[in-house]
Structure 1
Amino acid sequence: MEKMSKGMRTKMRILESAKKVFYENGYDDAIVQQIADESETTLGSLTYHFATKATIVDAIMSEYLSAIKERIQSTYKKDKLNHFKEHFFLTIIYYNNLLNDEKTKRFYYETHLNSALFDFLFRDIGSIYQGFIRDFNLRITPSEFEAILIADLGARRASAMAFYNGQIQMSVNEFAAFLISNTGRMFSIQEDIIYESRKEALTFYGSQDFSDIKALD
């Protein structure tokens, strides 16, 4: 196994400490100096690896997304998954593990208020959505794709805030399924495919324990 460099060890220590600080303080009240102190790192070293608080969030959420994806691919037959179905599975797990814990839910809400997740979502989720186009041979131009992505992320942000404030009265499962179903419709994916993906995703989520996959500690 390749030995981890000192710089990488420092970076990982900062991330693990940030997860604890964000969990206890939320996004708004977390201070970068707190994360440096928790990780026993100088502020200069922290900002060398992560220029802003938002870039730390970006790294945390990318890691969280990857962990969910790896679990799905290791426990479900790959040949039965297309990109949309896989993302349906991922979305159910993603939101359940974020919104069923009050402290993580607060953090997630505050990152949306501050648009701290935008770069992560635009890059990582955009890459996933490109798979929809390939799988279903969708006739969507690059400019249309970018417009759909912006509209989808805007709708998710507004919906997340409304859910947190109690304006949307749904269970977390219902809310997560609504979001990804709405995304499918924006890409003109057939309703029967959306329905079957929803059914399989909820069944899969109910048959497994994903509580060990956490965005924050």
Structure 2
Amino acid sequence: MAQYRKGMDTKHKILFVSKKLFVENGYIDTSCKRICEEADVNLGLIHYHYKSKKNIASIIYTYFLIEVKDFVKRIMSEKFHNYELKYATAVENWIFINLLLSDERYKRFYYELCKENFLIDENTKIIEFFYKLHVNTYNLNITTNEVKLIRVANAALTMGLVAKYVENYFDMTLDQLCEYKIRNMYRFMKLKEDQIDDIVNVSYDTYKKINVKLTDYFKLTEEV
């Protein structure tokens, strides 16, 4: 039991140090060697616990996405007393994209993950679950294989949008970028344009009432 606890402590330490270094130095300029030096662990433990630096980064991305989802569900349930999946998912997108692209440190990390095609790797398959929730909740005429297609297509869209936005290819605001991403996500799910208009408008109004910040390496804090 003590050995297991020590192993888990080491695993958590590697993850925390990776978050810190990815935020401070970006993904590309953070080496496995640097992570292990900062965490004071043997280099081989990266492979033992996570297989690769890429796995660590995609896990951090996925965990943060889930944390944003949990945060939005709590706020909409407790503060607004009105949680509904289609609006909440859009609010999550407003928050997630704005947080990561409004801070230069997180922007670098997000940009580098998108350039490396991280958003469609094995660790992000859990996102399929959230599309299935929409299918089941709203009785959408979408097959299991189409859910997979939607996940990959939406991830590819997001990676392209984020990369070209950071490279100043678009003449648009961050909110306009986010709205475009949300609209196309729901188009992939075969919603009608008037339904999408409603989701965008309601979710944006809700998002503007939530004052959330990123602190201490991917930690969410709501400011009253």
In the superposition, the TM-score normalised over structure 1's length comes to 0.88
Secondary structure of the residue aligned to 1:76 is helix
| Equivalent position of 1:139 in the other structure | 141
Query: What fraction of aligned residue pairs are identical, expressed as a percent?
Result: 27
Superposition pairs of residues 1-217 of structure 1, within 5 angstroms = 5-77=5-77, 80-119=82-121, 122-212=124-214, 216=218
- The farther-off stretch of 155-164 and 29-38 is 155-164
Shift of 1:214: 6.9
CA contact (8 A) 2:21 2:30 kept: yes
- The farther-off stretch of 33-42 and 120-129 is 120-129
Q: Check 1:95–1:211 CA distance in 2 against 1; reply closer, same or farther (3 A cut).
A: same
Shift of 1:60: 0.9
Secondary structure of the residue aligned to 2:211 is coil
By relative contact order (CA 8 Å, sep 6+), the higher-ranking structure is 1
- The farther-off stretch of 207-216 and 9-18 is 207-216
CA contact (8 A) 1:92 1:202 kept: yes
Q: Check 1:128–1:205 CA distance in 2 against 1; reply closer, same or farther (3 A cut).
A: same
Q: Which runs of 5+ in 1 are unaligned?
A: none
Q: Which runs of 5+ in 2 are unaligned?
A: 220-224
- The farther-off stretch of 144-153 and 67-76 is 144-153
Secondary structure of the residue aligned to 1:211 is strand
CA contact (8 A) 2:62 2:124 kept: no
Shift of 1:68: 1.1
Secondary structure of the residue aligned to 1:168 is coil
Structure 1 residues 100-149: Cα deviation after superposition (integer angstroms, max 9, x where no partner): 01121111111111123322674132211111211221112222332233
Shift of 1:216: 4.3
| Equivalent position of 2:222 in the other structure | none
Q: Check 1:102–1:215 CA distance in 2 against 1; reply closer, same or farther (3 A cut).
A: same
